[in-house]
Amino acid sequence: MTNAASVVFEDISYAYAPGHPVVKDVCLEVQPGEIAVLVGPSGCGKSTLLRLVAGLLIPTAGRLLIDGNDMSARAPEHRLVGWVPQSYALFEHLNVRDNVAFGLRMRRAAKETIRRRVGEMLELCRISELADRPVTQLSGGQRQRVAIARALAVSPRVLLLDEPLAALDPQLRTAIRADLQALLRASGVTTLFVTHDQEEAMAVADRVAVLRAGRIEQFGTPQELWQSPANAFVAQFFGGAAVLEAHWVSPGCVRLAPGVEGPVALTQTSGTLQIALRSQDLEIVPDLAEAGQFIPTAIEFAGESFKITGELIGAGTLTVMHDRPVTLGQRYPIRVKPGRILCVIGQHRQHT
Amino acid sequence: MTPTHRTAHRTADPVMAIGQGFTLVAVVICLAPLPLLLVVATTANWPLGFWADGITLNWMRDGWEAVRPYALFSLRLAAMVLAIDLAIGLPAAWLIARHDFIGRQALVALINLPLAIPGIAIALALILAYPLARASGLLLLLGQVVYTLPFLVATLAPALAQPALIEREAVARTLGASAVQRLLYVTFPTIRSALLAALILVFTLSMGEFNVSFFLFTPLNKTLPVELYSAYITNRVEVAAAITAIFLLFVVPAAIAIERLGGSKIGQA
């Protein structure tokens, strides 16, 4: 399948009601064959973006290009865009095979073409043995595969997946996520994948767009977003970081709190800056004269170690990993782990 | 929970026990007339008692001979009512379910209005408004349409408004299905049980309707229930019972079918 197309959002806005836009001036360029993940809290407009690509909604402003062609005037039935809603929306009066064949039948493909293509799709999605089952008898993971096979059967230029893993048991999600990624890579189709789960986004994406309140906060590879968050929201939502104000001590060194200093990959020395602090950045140490003070307020067992949330005196709430349990409410000395370079927010190069 | 536990729990609950007792009594009171009706209809001489002078099917035969033209008329009328209800009610249910337009509530109220008005009033209003249409039987048809339409719309509108159906139609659209294809291959199959239930409901209502029909019938356009009434007034009680039994043969299977299609979902609005 090599008809993957690029998808370009040009200053797209959308409002369900006048004056209440849910998507605001979105610019995004997804490359052919790329898996782009749209991630953000619920209500940020990510599902609306998918509906705009499918043509189920028409932008109130801006243009949508697929493969360089303006889609504004093209109805959903003529866009060749596969859409898999969160519910999968399988046709429950049809069996698996007829669900997958649906699009080809509607497009009046030849009988032989339908038979061959449906066979390929069942194979690709590894549901051949379920072909004659009613879809009402399938598990969540199987339903998801039928929905994707149905969407891919018409050789869409773009595949839209809306929270494809949300309806599955949490225990199965990680395994099915890996399968899904392999399937998407094998099909080679350009994919827009919506999720609210940053871990899922990191796992499947070539590039991630972080959305907040209808705007794109940052678009880049998972590594870029992790290493150079554009702002505090991206650092918190995508990186799971605590955001702290820091002050310059000397070129290349900042202070987070009294007694807590660490290196940054910058040499400028004026003004304040924001640090995205991860749980691996700090460590609780045995008595140390030059250390900050940390008061644990919650502790979670995390297998290899404990995840401890608490207050860094003079800075704010954050999380550190520690290999032993701690007493809540007691003061512990804390410092930046030797060798760690702190992540500065807002230092990324603008994406194009 | 094992069945034993459940039984123990039920009998231990006095409210539940009283409720079950009343339900049983109500069922017996409601169903008792049916076997009695069959006994009367098959008794040669009912005034003398149960199966006095022997069991006979003569009354049933006489009854059927008497009502046959009216039964056939009622069937024809029901078929016409059904066709007109569908032609008006399906698009109306679609509008109500899918579009939030100005006057939507007014349309719902207008369609449901006949439910709140006595059938006699509907009939009189129709006679006053269209006196000339009565002789042809057109008013009878119109009256039944007005009376049955709310039930059709109230059954179809919720089925058409299901978010799951709307999403399936949207998926079908992205897969290349045209508006007609979506209607034929997604919408109708998805709402088929509601659609079938609505059709049977309208059919049953039309077959059994008395209030409106009693005022609008003419000697040439007389429905089965209206004839049933005349039979009670003019015939032996055995014939009347036989005609009632025949009437039930038309209506009861349809009622059972509705129940099996998920009766609880029908008629909600």
- The number of C-alpha atoms within 13 Å of B101 and in the hemisphere containing its C-beta is 12
Question: How many whole angstroms separate alpha carbon B141 and alpha carbon A279?
Answer: 77
Q: Would you put residue A94 in left (φ > 0), alpha (ψ -120 to 50) or beta?
A: beta
- Please give the pLDDT value at position A301: 92
- Please give the pLDDT value at position B63: 86
Edge-to-edge strand ranges of the sheet holding A282-284? A282-284, A332-336, A292-301, A306-312, A316-322
Chain B contact for A93, CB < 8 A?
A: yes
Confidence band for B2, pLDDT divided at 50, 70 and 90? very low
Average pLDDT over residues B59-83: 91
Average pLDDT over residues B108-121: 87
Chain A contact for B38, CB < 8 A?
A: no
Percentage of chain B surpassing pLDDT 70?
Answer: 93
Confidence band for B9, pLDDT divided at 50, 70 and 90? low
- Please give the pLDDT value at position B4: 47
pLDDT tens per residue, range B207-253: 988 888 988 888 888 898 888 888 888 877 888 888 888 888 888 88
Contact A56 B171 (CB under 8 A): no
pLDDT tens per residue, range A18-34: 888 999 999 999 999 99
Residue of A nearest to B178 (CA): A77
* DSSP-assigned letters across all residues of B128-178: HH-GGGTTTTHHHHHHHHHHHHHHHHHHHHHHHH-HHHHHHHHHHHHTT--
- Please give the pLDDT value at position B228: 85
Chain B contact for A150, CB < 8 A?
A: yes
Question: How many whole angstroms separate alpha carbon B165 and alpha carbon B182?
Answer: 11
* DSSP classification of residue B62: H
pLDDT tens for each residue of chain A, 352 residues long = 457 899 999 999 999 888 889 999 999 999 999 999 999 998 899 999 999 999 999 999 999 999 999 998 899 999 999 999 999 999 999 999 999 999 999 999 999 999 999 999 999 888 999 999 999 999 989 999 999 999 999 999 999 999 999 888 888 888 889 888 998 998 899 999 999 998 899 999 999 999 999 999 999 999 999 989 999 999 998 878 899 999 998 888 999 998 899 999 887 777 788 999 999 999 998 877 778 899 999 999 988 899 999 999 988 999 999 999 999 999 999 999 998 999 999 875 444 3
Q: Say which range, A46-50, B37-41, B49-53, B102-106, has the weakest mean pLDDT.
A: B49-53
Question: How many whole angstroms separate alpha carbon A327 and alpha carbon A332?
Answer: 9
- Please give the pLDDT value at position B262: 62
CB-nearest partner of A91 from B170, B181, B186: B186
Q: Are A93 and A109 in contact (CB under 8 A)?
A: no
CB-nearest partner of A85 from B167, B175, B181: B167
Q: What is the ipTM of this complex?
A: 0.86
At residue B143, does pLDDT exceed 80? yes
- Please give the pLDDT value at position B268: 44
Look at residues A280, A273, A278, A279 and name the one whose alpha carbon lies nearest to residue A345: A273
What is the torsional sign of CA B105, B111, B112, B114?
Answer: positive
Highest-confidence segment of A102-106, B19-23, B132-136: A102-106
pLDDT tens per residue, range B145-185: 999 999 999 999 999 999 999 999 999 999 999 999 999 99
Edge-to-edge strand ranges of the sheet holding A272-277? A260-263, A253-257, A242-250, A272-277, A343-344
pLDDT tens per residue, range A162-198: 999 988 888 888 888 988 899 899 889 999 999 999 8
CB-nearest partner of B175 from A87, A93, A106: A106
What are the two backbone dihedrals, phi and then psi, of residue A100, each rounded to the nearest 5 degrees?
-65, -35
Residue A100 C-alpha, separation from nearest chain B C-alpha, in angstroms: 10
Q: Are B42 and B237 in contact (CB under 8 A)?
A: no
Question: How many whole angstroms separate alpha carbon A59 and alpha carbon B26?
Answer: 60
Chain A contact for B3, CB < 8 A?
A: no
Question: How many whole angstroms separate alpha carbon B80 and alpha carbon B144?
Answer: 10
Question: How many whole angstroms separate alpha carbon A232 and alpha carbon A7?
Answer: 28
Helix (H, G, I), strand (E, B) or coil at B96: helix
Look at residues A119, A128, A83 and name the one whose alpha carbon lies nearest to residue A101: A119
Q: Which of residues 19-78 of A touch B (CB under 8 A)?
A: 54-56, 75-78
Residues sharing a CB contact under 8 Å with residue A275, sequence separation 6 or more, in sequence order: A243, A244, A245, A246, A254, A256, A264, A342, A343, A344, A345
Whether the model pTM is above 0.90:
no
- Please give the pLDDT value at position B3: 46
Average of per-residue pLDDT values in chain B: 86
Helix (H, G, I), strand (E, B) or coil at B209: coil
pLDDT tens per residue, range A325-339: 999 999 999 999 998
Interior/surface letters A14-32, b for 16+ CB within 10 angstroms, e for the rest: bbeeeeebbbbebebbbeb
Q: Please report residues of B whose CB lies closer than 8 A to that of A107.
A: 176
Question: How many whole angstroms separate alpha carbon B81 and alpha carbon A299?
Answer: 71
Residues sharing a CB contact under 8 Å with residue A215, sequence separation 6 or more, in sequence order: A24, A25, A26
Contact B190 A87 (CB under 8 A): no
Question: How many whole angstroms separate alpha carbon A12 and alpha carbon A218?
Answer: 16
Strand A35-39 relative to strand A190-195, pairing:
parallel
Look at residues A294, A323, A330, A324 and name the one whose alpha carbon lies nearest to residue A309: A294
